[in-house]
Amino acid sequence: MEIHLTHLANLLERCWIRAEQQTARLVSQKYPAPSEENLTFLFSGELREVIEQASEAREVDSAFLSDLRASVPNLPYGTEQHVHGLIARVTFHGRWHEGRHSGADLGLVVSRPLVELSWNRLEFRRGHATGLLAQAKLGCSARPGNAHLKWGRLTAAQVKKFPVHRNYYSLLLYRLRDATRAELQSFGWQLCKDHSLAEVKRWLTSDTFPCELTSTGILHALFGREIGTEDPEILRSLIDPSSSHVHAIELRVTWPDHGGPPPSLYIQQTQETIHLIQQHLKA
């Protein structure tokens, strides 16, 4: 049974939203009318700073321990000393990806521990990664006072590669609504799985995105392995920033080198307690 890392996911979602808000302030005060690439660059720097602050304050470690305590009743004394020290880092990698490979200009990679309870043993696996390709689109007012935003078109490379990557492909929507393009709104996301290329083109033309999600929703689903891809070959060749040339925001939650828990920890539990854990994880 996989342990749900709800507290940890919630913390990272709050950090992400705070970084979005700080990016909006930068655009308003210093960098009006940014390009899609510049927005991604600014945001990645703000996210790096916010995540580092949370790690230094031991918030990441505390959230992870809270998840273990919530999921495993009567967590044995001393378990904390084996698992503490979890930190989070953000890295922004790469150059503009060659369109013939991905048909996207951004990869989002979330790497985190995978924790499973197997009868009376906690199993830990480092570096479990989930990735999502994203095409960043910038929506700007067509003219002052017009609520309708212009999004531009997909490139020929994006059109060609869309069917190949659709199941783990999304639009990342940056909105600049005022005339000076200095008012950046909260990011929006539109997943493309189960949608046709014709639908995506219609969304951009009509400024209507039928199932738009917030960054909180996307990160929660990606962290929870509900969207994106876990295929190691796809991550290595297209999305994983360590081996591809795509712009990528890598959010890594791990223990420092040579730190962290052993592969497994023995948890002495009664049958009744195991039943309670099962019920909790199904809730």
Q: Is residue 75 part of a domain?
A: yes
Closest to 43 (Cα-Cα) out of 65, 16, 10, 78: 16
Q: Is residue 43 part of a domain?
A: yes
Q: Is residue 22 part of a domain?
A: yes
Confidence of residue 173 (pLDDT cuts 50, 70, 90): very high
Q: Is residue 92 part of a domain?
A: yes
Evaluate whether 244 touches 106 at the Cβ level (below 8 Å). Answer: no
Q: Which domain holds residue 74?
A: 6-282
Q: What is the pLDDT of residues 196-215, one digit of tens each?
A: 999 999 999 999 999 999 99
Q: Is residue 225 part of a domain?
A: yes
How far CA 102 is from CA of 20, 22, 166, 218, 236, in Å, comes to: 26, 30, 11, 20, 12
Q: Is residue 1 part of a domain?
A: no
Distance, CA of 125 to CA of 145 (rounded, Å): 52
Q: Is residue 181 part of a domain?
A: yes
Pairing of strands 213-214, 149-150: unpaired
- Positive or negative torsion for Cα 153, 158, 164, 169: negative
Distance, CA of 179 to CA of 155 (rounded, Å): 26
Q: Is the pLDDT of residue 15 over 80?
A: yes
Q: What is the pLDDT of residues 215-235, one digit of tens each?
A: 999 999 999 999 999 998 888
Q: Is the pLDDT of residue 156 over 50?
A: yes
Q: Is residue 45 part of a domain?
A: yes
Q: What is the pLDDT of residue 157?
A: 84
Number of domains in the chain: 1
Name the percent of the chain lying above pLDDT 70: 86
Q: What is the pLDDT of residues 19-48, one digit of tens each?
A: 999 999 999 999 999 999 899 999 999 999
Q: Which of 264 and 102 is assigned the larger pLDDT?
A: 264
Q: What is the pLDDT of residues 45-97, one digit of tens each?
A: 999 999 999 999 999 999 999 999 888 877 777 778 888 899 999 988 765 44
Q: What is the pLDDT of residue 100?
A: 46
Q: Which of 34 and 277 is assigned the larger pLDDT?
A: 34
The amino acid at residue 243 is S
Q: What is the pLDDT of residue 283?
A: 59
